[in-house]
Amino acid sequence: MNTDVLNKSVLFGEMTGDERKECLAALNAHEKSYPKGTVILHAGELTDRIGLVLSGSVTIESNDVWGNCTILSLAGPGQVFAEAYALLADEVLLVDVKANEDCRILFLHIGRLFRDMPRAAWKEKLLKNLLMISSHKNLALSGRSFHTSHKSCRGRLLSYLNAVSLQKHSTEFDIPFDRQQLADYLNLERTNMSKELSRMRRDGIIEFRKNHFKLIQAE
């Protein structure tokens, strides 16, 4: 198990080494590896487990019966997914979780928290950390709604790139998405989005190469 990732993960924040071991044992933690493209959790399923990414990354996607895909978020090492569904075990998943690349996932049966389990310091810390994680995810989803509220393709791209710039404290940065994923995240058609990116570069607004971007500030 990658202890460096566990040490840095918000999920285990403020826990001692012994508390973390107790937590992992009590929640029946176990690892599993997935090749790129594998659907780890399927929409329509129930789950009482959360997943913690140990290596690689996963996308959280909304896929409908007509083949439309919307990427809602991406989780990398140290980040978790499916926590809301695991805590509300009677709610079916409305999203798919897919391996964005070869990855290893640590699963924890969070549903056990609400069974006959004695009070423990790690339990209170874990619940606090889950609340913090959920709050950050709510902000991220609100941010995505803000980006997609723009009617134009350029407006959505500028909104997203400006937000990443603010988060990175730099006008030059990498984004976590490839072109198709960025289009899916912003609810755009890939070809039109690529053309708009080229126009934005020609207009002197941005520079980019693959997933590396630089914002050109106005004079």
Residues 213, 200: contact at Cβ < 8 Å? Answer: no
Q: Give me the residue spans of the domains in the chain.
A: 3-146, 150-215
Q: Is the pLDDT confidence value at 2 over 80?
A: no
For residue range 79-102, list pLDDT tens digits in order: 999 999 998 878 999 999 999 999
For residue range 205-215, list pLDDT tens digits in order: 999 999 999 99
* Among 95, 3, 14, 97, CA closest to 51: 97
Identify the band that residue 219 occupies on the pLDDT scale cut at 50, 70 and 90: low
**How far apart (Å, rounded) are the C-alpha atoms in residues 131 and 137?**
10
Q: What is the pLDDT of residue 216?
A: 94
The SS3 assignment for 159 reads helix
Q: What is the pLDDT of residue 179?
A: 95
Domains 3-146 and 150-215 alike in fold: no
- Contacts of 143-152 with CB under 8 Å at 24 or more apart are 144/72, 144/73, 144/185, 147/186, 148/186, 148/187
For residue range 177-208, list pLDDT tens digits in order: 999 999 999 999 999 999 999 999 999 999 99
* Among 213, 198, 216, 207, CA closest to 161: 213
* 150-215 fold: Arc Repressor Mutant, subunit A (1.10.10)
Q: Is the pLDDT confidence value at 75 over 90?
A: yes
**How far apart (Å, rounded) are the C-alpha atoms in residues 4 and 13?**
13
Domain 3-146 has CATH 3.30.1330.10: no
Q: Is the pLDDT confidence value at 165 over 70?
A: yes
